[in-house]
Structures are given as structure tokens and as C-alpha cells.
Chains A and B, each alone.
Chain A
Amino acid sequence: MTSELHEEKLQELEEKSNEIRQLIIKTLLEAGSGHSAGPLGMTDIFCAFYFHILNHDPKKPDWPERDRLVLSNGHICPVQYVTMALAGYFPIEELKTLRKIDSRLQGHPHRTALPGLETTSGPLGEGLSQAIGMALAAKLDKKDYRIYVLTSDGEHQEGNIWEAAMFAGKNKIGNLTQVIDRNNIQIDGFTENIMPLEPLREKYLAFNWEVIDVDGHNIREFVDAIGKAQSTHQKPTIIIAHTIPGKGVSFMENDYKWHGSAPDDEQAKQALAELRTLQGKIVSEHE
């Protein structure tokens, strides 16, 4: 079970999120391509996972008892790479190799390239099923580790997601928690214009999931939701994380054009300046 989140730890996590966002901008600038909006939007959640929720050991990425964090929408991997580096999985310096030749940091994550990645992803709609497979293996082996899978809202247009949602509901996969990044954008525009997903909550309820809505930038709310998911044994849980794509960088926020592009020099400078002004002030934002 995830331990209680004290005020001091919360502040530490929020400061860490800011550090992650800055490093995402620097990493994307160096890479010259990649996705900006999703990684910035999911930063608080990645931070909460790697620095508070997950039962893991960055020095022993193959530890069999570890919790599994499965990233289904692989294109937001810059946030995972940055968070993993800060957590100690690999040297921070290596972030400069993202998307470059001979790198362990593939443009979309590849499990066998980098210890600590639980799967290979990028093609959408496949992570939830793989997480179910891991959850079934844990049950067969009578292990207590939990499986967390991160999906996106756009990816819910894939049929595979609903095949998996049906399966997990039917089989009461209680050791599985899905977190969907409900940021309302995808490559071609706003999700509700491309292919409406609402009512999302009701859809998952109908598939026999436990559903919790949270503000994806409120770490306390998110950690509480994870706690509820951990004590829900007879159903899989989905946490609908309402996030702001591009969070923390004014000109990226809520603009779907930043889904799949990286900042140039000037934009990165401005983004970093904005993020630096938030240093030390983040806690008050939620109050």
C-alpha cells in the first residue's frame, strides 16, 4: 500500500515535477523532435508514481516483486525517461541521446533497450491488454505486486482498448489500475471533435470498472485515488486524470498543435523561463 503523503513530501513532489518539466523541455530541444504536450500534462502523475507510489528499486529494475508501470501511449515517453533518470534508473546525461542513433532512449519506448521499461509501445491501444497479462501472471503466481497502466484519451478510439476493458471487467482484475490522461487533444484536434469519448465515466461503469475522476495536477488527490484503487479488490479501477496538455508552459497549454512537436531554441528558452518562475510557488497554486 502507498504510504501517507505528508505535507512536506507533497511539496517535495511538486518541486520535483517542476524539475521534470524543465528537463523535458531541455531533452526535447536536444532531440529536435518528439511530443511536448502529453509529457508536460502527465508530469505530476509520473512524479507521484516514481517518487511516492511505486514499490520499485531503480538499481534492480528486474526485481520480480516490483510494481509494474506500463506506458500504453508510448509517445509521451520523454516524461517517463526524464522521471526514470531522476529516480536513478540511468544517468541524467543520457537524456541527451533521446531519438538519436545508438541510444537506449528510442523515440517510442522499447522494453529490451532500457532496463526499467515494462513494455514496448507507441502503436496505440495495446498497453491495457499487456497490463492485464501481467496482472494475470501475478495472480497465477500469487504475488502481491500491482500493475498500473497509463493510457490516453485519443487512444480509446482503438478497438483493442474496449476488448481489454471488457475482459478486465469480466475477470475482475483487481490488481490492475488504469490511469487515463484525459487531456482532450490528439494529433488532428480536440478528441470530442475527432471522435467523442464522453460519457467516459459511464462507459467504464458499464464495463464493471471502479471509476475515479481526479485533477491530474493535484498530486494529493491522485495519491488518494491510488489508495482507493489499491483497496478495491473485486474490480479493476480507472482513474480519469483530467490534465492540461502542455501544463506549465503558457503557449503550449491546451493547444493540440503541441501534441506532436518539440520546442525550438526560442520557445524552449521561454518555456524554461516560465517554469522557473513557478519554483517554490507551486504548492500555493492548489490552495
Chain B
Amino acid sequence: MMLNPALKLNQKIFDKDVEVAPTRKGYGDALEKLGEVNPNVVVLCADLTDSTQCAKFAEKFPERFIECGVAEQNMAAIAAGLGVSGKIPFISSYATFSPGKNWETIRTTIVYNQSNVKIAGHHSGIVTGADGATHQATEDIAIVRAWPWIKVIVPCDWHEALRATEVSADIKGPVYLRFTRDKTPVITTDKTPFDINHAQVYWLSKNPQATIFGTGHLLYYALAAASELEKEKIEVDVVNVATIKPIDEKGIISSAEKSGAVVTVEDHQITGGLGGAIAEVLSRNKPLPMEYIGLQDTFAESGKPAELIKKYKMDDTAIIEAVKKVMERKNG
């Protein structure tokens, strides 16, 4: 077991009965807490109150819950007006609609306008499952990451989702938070420090042959891959990059240099997301062979999350293959 002891991660992570919870639940739990402690927090939703986990906030703080109906542009711009008037609005919808459909509204009225709005993009990734590709947000990191002045956080499990949501309320300015629908393994514990500024090494090796940078729920598969590779006597590091913007350049470079080969893992298109962000950092500082796990320039389809992860080559098997391939390239 090479889980970084300093981070107090879930020691039962590889057990069959590992605790599972959706990251969106962490968002909902955090909103409820924030509602109690911060009277300026308001929550806006576009006809997806239950699904985006705003129901408890809505019930407890009805005067601070704003139902916008199916109108994501209106929701974003109303939030912009609230955000320049001393409020801390959280806007909640599926990421394909917000920041997808209302991208320019957010760009102009929230990001460029420097309004203090938190954008919660739900149902991200192909693990959205049966709803199909229309509802699986797989380009959202790319489209928000291109904006200046925004922070982009992709929590790996519900604990981290809760902490990220809480912390975002204290950040002045726009923040994008990315959540998933499906229940995924709980990787961290309530004792794991959440560090918005630094990528954290979750799986630590003495002599890593490759560095796996992961974000979001697929970090679990990255850790599973590391554990299996260990049995084959291949050491790797696994780094949780929860904050994609601003990215921890120093941390990324030093982790990558340690092994000399990089694999990125994300439930997102391989273009423009975590892989793109890491490639930008390394190409400027320390060019290294890289392999990308993610959606390979295609749309996915309906299916069970586990089936989709396997078919679209984002599971531990695919990650192991990518590690071996990048090691070959490094050594070849």
C-alpha cells in the first residue's frame, strides 16, 4: 500500500465494499452548511433542484433560493447582478447547459464583469450514463479553462466536493465547480487536507517510472491502476489535480520530472481539459512523453457508467496500457 500517509486517505479504497457517494451530494451538503453560516449565499437553479442537490438548501432557506425555470442564460445573468450586489450566488444546472448553453452570458456578465458567482456544472463526464451524450458534459473544462480570472475545481469524491464548495464561497470572484451524477468511491476522508493551491500526490513511490495526473472521479481508476502496476513491480506516482485553474505549475513540473513520463486521466475530451493543461505546463518547462486517458475526440452514448468507462478506455486497464506505452516511449 503506497497511499500517501500524510493525506489520511481512505484505507479501504480497494475493498469490495468501499464507500460510494456522488460528488454532487458533496455540493448539496456544502450548500446546506453555507446557508447556515453565510447569509449572503444564494442558490439559483434551472428546474433541476433535486438532481443538482439544491433541495435541502431550498427547503431551509426558501427566501435565498431562486428557481429560474429552464432558462440558463437568465439564471447566469441574474446571478451576475446578485454577485455585484454583495451576494454569493451559486448557479446549478447540468454542465452541458451551464456553462455550455450560456457560455457567452457567463463570459460577459460573470467572468469579465468580475461578479462573485460560483458555477456548479453537474452531470459531467460519460458517467452521467443512460441519459446519453446530450447530457454528458465532456468539453466543459476546456470551455471554462480558456477564460482568464476564473478558478476551476474538479473534486475527486464527495468529501472533496464538499470542501471545494465550502472554500469557493470564500474565494472572491468566479469559480467553476464540476460534479458527477453517479456514485463513485470515496477516496479521501474528513481528515484529508483540501488544498486548492496545490496538486497532491495520492500514491507515492520511491522510484516512479511514470506520473499519473488525474482529476475527478477517475482518480479512483488511476489509483487502482497504480496498485495493480505495483504487483508487476512498476512504480508510479498518482497526483490529484483538483484545481485545474490556476494550475499548480511547480507541483506538476516536480512530479513529472521525478518519473520523466506522464499519463493524464480525466472523464472529459482529451483536448483542452486536464491533459491540455498539463501539456501546456510541461511543454513550456520540461517537455516529456505524455499519454492521454479521456474521451478520444468522439461523443459517448447511453449505457451504465462502468460499461462506458470500459468501452471508452478510461478504466484501470486502459490506464495501465497508457503507463506502459509512455514508459516505452521514454526508454525508447
Contact = CB atoms under 8 A, between A and B. Distances in A.
* A and B co-occur in one complex: yes
Interface of A: 70, 110-112, 118-123, 125-138, 140-141, 159-160, 163-164, 166-167
A66 to B, nearest CB: 11
User: A-side binding surface: helix, strand, loop or mixed?
Assistant: helix
A139 to B, nearest CB: 9
A137 B87 contact: yes
A136 B78 contact: yes
Interface in B88-110: 89, 104-105, 108-109
Nearest to B71: A163
A160 B74 contact: yes
Interface of B: 42, 63-64, 66, 68-69, 71, 73-74, 76-87, 89, 104-105, 108-109, 112-114
Given A111-B84, A167-B69, A140 B42 contact: yes
A159 B104 CA distance: 13
A132 B112 contact: no
A122 B66 CA distance: 26
Nearest to B76: A129
Given A137-B85, A137-B87, A120 B109 contact: yes
A136 B105 contact: no
Contacts of B113: 110-112, 119-120
A110 to B, nearest CB: 7
26 contacts: A111-B114, A118-B84, A119-B80, A119-B109, A119-B113, A123-B104, A126-B105, A129-B74, A129-B76, A129-B77, A129-B81, A130-B80, A132-B78, A133-B80, A133-B82, A133-B83, A133-B89, A136-B42, A136-B81, A137-B82, A140-B42, A140-B63, A160-B73, A160-B105, A163-B69, A163-B73
Contact of B108 (A123, A133, A141): A123
A160 B77 contact: yes
A111 B66 CA distance: 25
A91 B233 CA distance: 72
B148 to A, nearest CB: 13
